[in-house]
Amino acid sequence: MEFVEFTKEMAKDYTILVPTMLPMHFKLIIKVLSHYGYKMELLETTGKQVVDTGLKYVHNDTCYPAILVIGQLINAIQSGKYDVNKIALMLSQTGGGCRASNYLSLLRKALKKAGLSHIPVVAFGVAGLEKHSGFNLNVTKLYKMMHAVFYGDLLMSLVNQVKPYEKETGTARKIADKWTERLSEELIHKYISYKKVKRNYREMIAEFAAVPMNKTDKVKVGVVGEIFVKYSPLGNNNLEEFLYDEGAEVVVPGLLDFLMYCVYNPINDSKAYGINKIKAFACKIGYKFLLSRQRDIITLLNEDGHFMPPTPFSTTASLTKGYIGLGTKMGEGWLLTAEMLELAHEGVKNIICTQPFGCLPNHICGKGMMKPIKEKNENINIVAIDYDAGATQVNQENRIKLMLANAK
């Protein structure tokens, strides 16, 4: 297929459309990139037309996230809102042996089918292998985006822990929005002072801790699964809102875990198979850096004492022992099992494992691990929910309700 480059010329005035996965994180990341002169737009369209467009241009047996993401992009292009000769698309792309590594190819095929193959697509992610003269990721940009992830994770976790208990509805959300604004202004500064970052963490935590709350007893429900349907409200039919309305406190592991999983795997590969030693070396440096940054957040949360901190990634990984090998690295791989175990470890006994219908890795790491997890962890209450263009909300909600009825 012809590769359409995103050139320097295009970078000047093209609008880059980006599908949403995690609203708070993505807003911050986009802000960072816009500062470098890119005109970015985060797509937040929902509804049947997104799915229908996806089904029209993507093989219907492909995983649901591909159908949604591609559907959202093409639907936006066809909406008439943009000049089709002045737009580019951005797509996050992981690599590896899962079929999800084909999203970029599938998007290009879909564009061709829709007669839009002139539109350049920039893949964004760990396996970004293509060269675009108009778009590059240097260390500074990556460093800033990393902070968008740190901030995003912390905000998400704080909102989740405050929102179900706040006396005045909407307080937590308001604080989070305010911080998103403020942080996006700060992240575009030339340098990021880590001291300042830590100060922000502290202030953020304190502000959330000060929200007047009714500390009633609520059921804690953990959400794990395939990354897109786990996070994206479009993918999981607003799962978080639903659980919140049902009176539960939602616990969602952060995006940082997934990034650390991605840098951890090459290290493990090198150890296990004696391959890619150079890549493993670089990853080791990245891994140590991320681990130390995560530790700082944990320390600050512990100092404050109001909130449940994330579990150190190294601990999360070690929990898989006796369940699954760390070589299982396609899709969410062993991390999915690890996150269920981590939740159980933290006392979150009710877990929803989300996946697109027919998700290959989740046969093994999700559904395949439920029996051993239930055997070795008492009172654990896990339900697997499939998401799909044809699966209905009423069936999903009915199963979640059963899980909630049995919640401990």
Binders of another protein in range 305-364 (CB under 8 A): 323-325, 327-331, 357-364
**Token output for 234:** 């479009």
What single-letter DSSP state applies at residue 309? P
Name the segment binding another protein (CB under 8 A); options: 109-117, 194-202, 300-308, 342-350. 109-117
Name the segment binding another protein (CB under 8 A); options: 32-40, 97-105, 148-156, 297-305. 97-105
Distance CA 92, CA 228 (A): 11
Applying the rule CB under 8 A, the residues between 16 and 55 that interact with another protein are 47-48, 51-52, 55
Residue 378 CB, nearest approach to another protein (Å): 8
Residue 69 CB, nearest approach to another protein (Å): 15
Enumerate the β-bridge partners of residue 142.
none
Distance CA 30, CA 22 (A): 12
* Residue placing its CB nearer to another protein in the complex, 180 or 362: 362
User: Amino acid letter at 118?
Assistant: H
The position carrying tokens 């004492």 is: 305
Is the Cα dihedral 352, 353, 354, 356 positive or negative? negative
Residue 89 CB, nearest approach to another protein (Å): 17
Which of 102, 238, 276, 377 is the binder for another protein (CB under 8 A)? 102
Our finding on whether 57 is near another protein (CB under 8 A) is: yes
Residue 236 · residue 227 · CB < 8 Å: no
Q: Is 387 exposed, middle or buried (0-12, 13-18, 19+ CB in 10 A)?
A: buried
Which of 61, 80, 216, 305 is the binder for another protein (CB under 8 A)? 61
Our finding on whether 105 is near another protein (CB under 8 A) is: yes
**Token output for 406:** 């049995």
* Residue placing its CB nearer to another protein in the complex, 76 or 106: 106
Residue 267 CB, nearest approach to another protein (Å): 14
Q: Of 172, 151, 169, 131, whose CA–CA distance to 5 is shortest?
A: 131
Our finding on whether 244 is near another protein (CB under 8 A) is: no
Our finding on whether 392 is near another protein (CB under 8 A) is: yes
Distances (CA, A) of 337 to 203, 225, 377: 33, 9, 13
Distance CA 106, CA 65 (A): 12
Residue 375 CB, nearest approach to another protein (Å): 9
Applying the rule CB under 8 A, the residues between 265 and 294 that interact with another protein are 269, 272-275
* Residue placing its CB nearer to another protein in the complex, 217 or 245: 245
Which of 4, 45, 96, 192 is the binder for another protein (CB under 8 A)? 96
Our finding on whether 4 is near another protein (CB under 8 A) is: no
Residue 355 CB, nearest approach to another protein (Å): 10
Q: Of 273, 252, 266, 400, whose CA–CA distance to 339 is shortest?
A: 252
Q: Give the interface size with another protein as a residue count (CB under 8 A).
A: 72
Which of 32, 69, 98, 340 is the binder for another protein (CB under 8 A)? 98
**Token output for 162:** 């405050």
Our finding on whether 371 is near another protein (CB under 8 A) is: yes
Name the segment binding another protein (CB under 8 A); options: 15-23, 30-38, 202-210, 394-402. 394-402
Residue 313 · residue 299 · CB < 8 Å: no
Distance CA 65, CA 384 (A): 17
What single-letter DSSP state applies at residue 34? H
**Token output for 378:** 């008492």
* Residue placing its CB nearer to another protein in the complex, 59 or 196: 59
Our finding on whether 101 is near another protein (CB under 8 A) is: yes
Our finding on whether 188 is near another protein (CB under 8 A) is: no
Residue 380 CB, nearest approach to another protein (Å): 10
Q: What 3-state class would DSSP assign to 136?
A: coil
What single-letter DSSP state applies at residue 141? H
* Residue placing its CB nearer to another protein in the complex, 23 or 96: 96
Distance CA 275, CA 329 (A): 15
